[in-house]
Amino acid sequence: MVQGKRKWGIGPINDFIEQHGLREKFDALTPPKVATVAYRDASFKFYIPDAMTDKMQLAPLLGWYHERSLLEAFHSVVDSNGTICDLGANFGSHTVYFAAIMKARRVHSFEPQAHLIDVIKKTLELNQIDNVTLHHAVAGAKLGKAHLKRTHVENSGMAEFRPGAGDLPVDMLPVDDVVGEEHVTGVKIDVEGMQMPVLRGMSKTIRRCAPVLWLELRPAKGEIEQPSEWLAKRGYRRQKTSFRDFLFIPETSA
């Protein structure tokens, strides 16, 4: 797999770990469960306690910056002198990139899985990052609660949260309410099917700031058309960066 070009299409995690000798590498991490990743002339530490069971945390163990090329494409079109939102932060690699590499004024990082909030907190501490506001929440159309609908035993990035009854309730917050009058220049949206509620919950921010948007949209689930049409009506053009990652760029920035 080419680093950064696609999501984790690596097959069964145990097979991948054995093929690449990653169990021994994980056991040898010093300090325990912390991997160091070089990026250009800097290095970053990532707390990856679940790397032997969760594909999302394998990239740092391999010495890769997770989705580097996608992050760099986003970086190239986003003004760092503002607020960036990371909706679906998982283990925090993108949050670190926005805060420490792009040097955003403020990063609002949303993650609904409680154990991953602890992972992100540890990583932020390891890298002495203080410009991140971490929200144990999902982004949505209105204030309320969301619940775990579906998870994946080997990939925490595939967990789905939805409004309504269910297990593991978590706060649901509209981005508009969280950012207030902050100048938002970029938003990453990786929310496993919740794209339209998220966009509706940030409609004021879109109208006020016209931020660049990075959406993960799954073609096999028919997720591309509706947000593309909704954003086109608001002056955005779509740019494909991977088979299911798209930048939506306001025409005013062309």
Query: What integer pLDDT is reported at residue 163 of this predicted model?
Result: 84
Distance CA 211, CA 236 (A): 10
Q: Which of 2-11, 214-223, 245-254 has the lowest mean pLDDT?
A: 2-11
Q: The pTM is what? A: 0.92
50 pLDDT exceeds 90?
yes
Residues 154, 156, 159, CA angle at the centre, nearest 5°?
A: 115
Q: Which of 22-26, 65-69, 156-160, 231-235 shows the lowest per-residue confidence on average (mean pLDDT)?
A: 156-160
Every domain of the chain and the residues it spans: 13-61, 68-253
Q: What is the CATH number of domain 68-253?
A: 3.40.50.150
Is pLDDT of 152 > 80? Answer: no
Mean predicted lDDT score pLDDT of the chain: 92
Structure confidence by residue, pLDDT tens digits, 118-142: 999 999 999 999 999 999 999 999 9
For 28-54, b/e burial (b = at least 16 CB within 10 A) is ebeeebbbebeeeeeebbbbbbbbbeb
pLDDT at 157 over 70: no
Mean pLDDT of 214-238: 96
